[in-house]
Amino acid sequence: MRRVVCPGSFDPVTNGHLDIIGRASRLFDEVVVAVLINKTKKGLFSIDERMEMLEEVTKEYGNVRIDKWHGLLVDFCRHNDISVIIKGLRAVSDYEYELQMAQMNHRMAGVETMFMSTNPLYSYLSSSLMKEIVKYGGDVSGLIPELVHTRLAERLREP
């Protein structure tokens, strides 16, 4: 079985992430979306909330599974018999850091990283920008799923 992991913080998932997940689902038998837990970074959404949104917005794909992991991504790969990581590249500025991680992951566990060029519709998109724009009532239509927009608006309204 050709299995790939699509890792990230997903705080929250955007249409840019979904584009990569959807395209990967056509190339691999199974796509495992892994929400990586980073205890030093306080997220807006809990890991379970991020996973729940991911479950909802990927349910149309029959071969996407959502999981979470605390620790090294290569250990997640070992535990799940995964030999390929897929990452979206939005711009050259993403490349340097991604290349470093890809090389380190390969050195540690022989895991390959595949880069997929982001759809230009989403190349300027990030979860952080979405949070900031929704907080101040800006227009994010077409950039995040409707459900995520609703959850973001609710969360950012909370005192």
Say which residues have a Cβ less than 8 Å from residue 154's Cβ, sequence separation at least 6.
none
Of the candidate residues 105, 118, 143, 144, the single one contacting ligand PNS (CB under 6 A): 105
When asked if residue 37 is in the footprint of ligand PNS (CB under 6 A), the reply is: no
Min CB(151)–ligand PNS separation in Å: 18
The helix-helix angle for 146-157 and 47-57 (nearest 10°) equals: 150
Q: Which is nearer to ligand PNS, 139 or 140 (CB)?
A: 140
Q: Is 6 within 8 Å of 32 (Cβ atoms)?
A: yes
Out of 9, 25, 87, 127, which one is annotated catalytic?
127
Residue 157 identity (one-letter amino acid): R
When asked if residue 113 is in the footprint of ligand PNS (CB under 6 A), the reply is: no
Min CB(13)–ligand PNS separation in Å: 10
Helix (H, G, I), strand (E, B) or coil at 55: helix
Distance between CA atoms of residues 93 and 10, nearest Å: 19
Min CB(108)–ligand PNS separation in Å: 7
When asked if residue 101 is in the footprint of ligand PNS (CB under 6 A), the reply is: yes
Whole-number Cα distances in Å, 158 to 44, 77, 133, 145? 11, 37, 16, 20
Give the interface size with ligand PNS as a residue count (CB under 6 A).
9
State the residues that interact with ligand PNS by CB under 6 A: 7-9, 36, 72-73, 101, 104-105
